Chains A and B, each alone.
Chain A
C-alpha cells in the first residue's frame, strides 16, 4: 500500500503468443499482416495484456482509492522492433514518480507513474510501459 518511488513489484513471466496477438489485432480492428502468422509481432498497446500473466500480488500497489482512480496516460516504448510470438519476457513493475496537484474543486489530486519493464531472456530491456494513474480529490474538497 502506498508504495514509495523506487518500489518494485515481483518479476513474472509473459510468453508472447501468436493466438493472443491475433485476438488482440481483431479487437483493435486491424488487418495488418504483421499481426498474423508464426512471425507475428505485438501491436503498440498489446503489452497491456501482461496483466493476464501477473500472479496475485506481483504488481505494485500505489494505494489509491479505486473509486477515485483514473488512468490518465499510457505509454509504450520499444527499444527495437516490437517483441514477437515465441518471445519469453520477464516483466516487473516499478514506481517511477509520485506527486500531487490541487484539484479543480479543492483538495489534492494524487498522481503515480508506474513503469512496467519487459526484458528478454538475456536481461536486455526490450520494452517499457508507463502508466500515469490519478486519484481525484475527495468529494467536498477536504484534503
Chain B
C-alpha cells in the first residue's frame, strides 16, 4: 500500500486517480462525517436563493479526496504535514483528477522526509485544490 519499496526522488510522480462524477450523496456523507453542516452543500433551494447555480462541494471534501489519493501513494502512518489551498469550486457532476509529484527528499536520522505537491483538477482543467505534504518514510 505504501511506497516503501519504490524509489522516490524529486520529480517522481504518482499514478493519477480520478474521483467522481461527484454527487450530492457524497457531499452529504462528508457533511455528516466532518460536522460541516453548511446547507450550501446539500440544499439546492437555499444555494439558488444565495445566487449559486446549485449546491457545491465542501472545499474540505475535495481536500479529503486528495488526502485519500496521497495516503494510497505514501502511507497513512507516515503523514506529517498536509496543507491545502482552496481554488475553484467543485460542482455536482465534476470529476476530480488527483496528481502528485515529489519535490524534495531529505535524509534525516529518523527516516526520509518526502515532500510532495498534490493537485486536484476538475474536468475543465481548472485547479480545485492545490496541496503540499510531508511524509516521513522509513530508511
Contact = CB atoms under 8 A, between A and B. Distances in A.
B73 to A, nearest CB: 11
B137 interface: no
Interface string A38-51: 00010111001101
A67 B19 CA distance: 30
B92 interface: no
Contacts of A70: 86
Nearest to A50: B35
A104 B32 CA distance: 35
Interface string B70-93: 111001111111111110000000
Contacts, number: 105
B33 interface: yes
B80 A43 contact: no
A75 interface: yes
Given A27-B34, A49-B33, A82 B77 contact: yes
B76 A49 contact: no
A33 B75 CA distance: 10
Interface residues of B, number: 34
B81 A77 contact: yes
B26 interface: yes
A75 B54 CA distance: 28
Interface of A: 20, 23-24, 26-30, 32-35, 41, 43-45, 48-49, 51-52, 70-79, 81-82, 130
22 contacts: A20-B33, A24-B33, A24-B34, A27-B33, A29-B19, A29-B26, A32-B72, A34-B77, A43-B76, A44-B67, A44-B133, A45-B84, A48-B36, A49-B33, A49-B35, A51-B36, A71-B59, A72-B85, A74-B60, A76-B83, A77-B80, A79-B80
Leading 4 A-B pairs by shortest Cβ distance: A34-B76, A75-B83, A28-B64, A52-B35
